Amino acid sequence: MSSDIAIKVENLSKCYQIYDTPRDRLKQFVLPPLQTIFGGGGKKYYREFWALRDVSFEIRRGETVGIIGRNGSGKSTLLQMICGTLTPTSGNIHTSGRIAALLELGSGFNPDFTGVENIYLNASILGLTRREIDESLEKIKDFAELGDFIYQPVKTYSSGMVVRLAFSVSVNVRPDILVVDEALAVGDSAFQLKCMDKLKMLQETGASVLFVSHDLGSVGRLCSSAHILDKGVKLPQESVFDSIRTYERLLKLKEGREKVYPKTDFHPLKKIYNESEYRPDSLGTQEAILSEVELLGGDGELGECFISGECITICIKIVSEIEVKNAVLGFGLRSSQGVRIIGGNSQYAKTPIRLKKGMNEIDVKFHVNIVAGEYFLNIGLVKDDGERTDLDQRWGVRKVLVTSSAFQVGLAYTPIEFSVR
């Protein structure tokens, strides 16, 4: 293996034997050896489930690689085999350097030990000497920010406190390879930001990071490339941005985008795009409905994943039962915390909208000059004939994922240049 390769995975596969009953498991243990002795048929009493099939890739030193995929796609199985806690059915794994892993919550901790005792336990498992742990102890304690709880048994900790302790140990023992599996999803937003900063520092020191997360915004910010796993098979490698867009399209195909609201609840022509779409109490008169909403990137392709600063277009189809001489169409982009980031309407833009009976199509174009993250699109339609009347509202109708290869802070994004005279 080349000296600049941190992880090399070759044709890795993992197969599990699935038994319908405990009796079948006993039969498989006893009968096949007897059948071999007496010339039997060698019947199998189990079904094979391949969690991974022929997965291959390389990660270089200092590289951060994302692993994305639906639940059950084999991500955790892959990481456990890389970390050595699971044996592959076939294939090879080569790693170079010290591996620190954040896998299952609290793995490697003794719940009856205090936080400090678990620091020594966990760090010694990672190969540190007592002296090295002593030198790193204060850094670990300061990063975890557990206060006096660091001297209490871990079984008294909340899930967030366990993550703080586990992450603090893993990143402060100077790992050559850091493996993170969804662990940061439990922590609060302030701690997540702190962890992201620490991961950036590890990247700068040359550590390799294997990062698994359903937060595609974080994958886009941290990773130089990303691999998609689907039913245990690795899809062809693309850039991190293209991988995220491919994964978003894959999710749409699996979940079915053509689902419509039941007629008893909402208008039959109205499509649902997001299961978490919130329906306000006052839906409007429904004389005109926002029936379809699509997003186009700067390349003219449909999608929900865009790069900071990219020009995107909201394509809206409105089905109206009446003529509306003066309609106002508005939209807003909100963060997952509910903060309104971008918004506007046709009246502010001095663009009058007249709706005819039947199908109307309206495009809204703007730049997503915001930092990487997950956002949700709200849309509202109003009739303004001297008295404003709500026609239709859709909140959280589409999820908008913004990614960036640059490190960003704040809410708004704009390219910045420094010159030194």
Q: What are the structural domain ranges in the chain? A: 5-251, 257-403
Residue 407's pLDDT band, with cuts at 50, 70 and 90, is low
Q: How is residue 144 written in tokens?
A: 């975890």
pLDDT at 150: 92
pLDDT at 393: 87
Architecture of domain 5-251: 3-Layer(aba) Sandwich (3.40)
Q: By C-alpha distance, which of 59, 63, 56, 60 is closest to 92?
A: 56
Q: How far is CA 379 from CA 70, 319, 351, 358, 408, in A?
A: 29, 15, 16, 19, 27
SS3 397: strand
- Do 271 and 260 meet the contact criterion of CB atoms below 8 Å apart? yes
Q: pLDDT (tens digit, 9 = 90+) per residue, 161-194?
A: 888 888 888 888 888 898 888 766 656 666 777 7
Q: How is residue 162 written in tokens?
A: 């366990």
Residue 418's pLDDT band, with cuts at 50, 70 and 90, is confident
Mean pLDDT over 240-263 rounds to 61
Percent of the chain whose pLDDT exceeds 70: 87
CA neighbours closer than 13 Å in the CB half-sphere of residue 250: 15
SS3 136: helix
- Do 188 and 51 meet the contact criterion of CB atoms below 8 Å apart? no
- Do 248 and 400 meet the contact criterion of CB atoms below 8 Å apart? no
Residues 6+ apart with CB under 8 A from 264: none
pLDDT at 314: 94
Domain 5-251 matches domain 257-403 at the CATH topology level = no
- Do 174 and 153 meet the contact criterion of CB atoms below 8 Å apart? no
Q: pLDDT (tens digit, 9 = 90+) per residue, 350-395?
A: 999 999 999 999 999 999 998 888 888 989 999 998 788 889 988 8
Q: Does CATH place domain 257-403 in 3.10.180.10?
A: no
- Do 228 and 247 meet the contact criterion of CB atoms below 8 Å apart? yes
Q: How is residue 134 written in tokens?
A: 């002593």
CA neighbours closer than 13 Å in the CB half-sphere of residue 325: 3
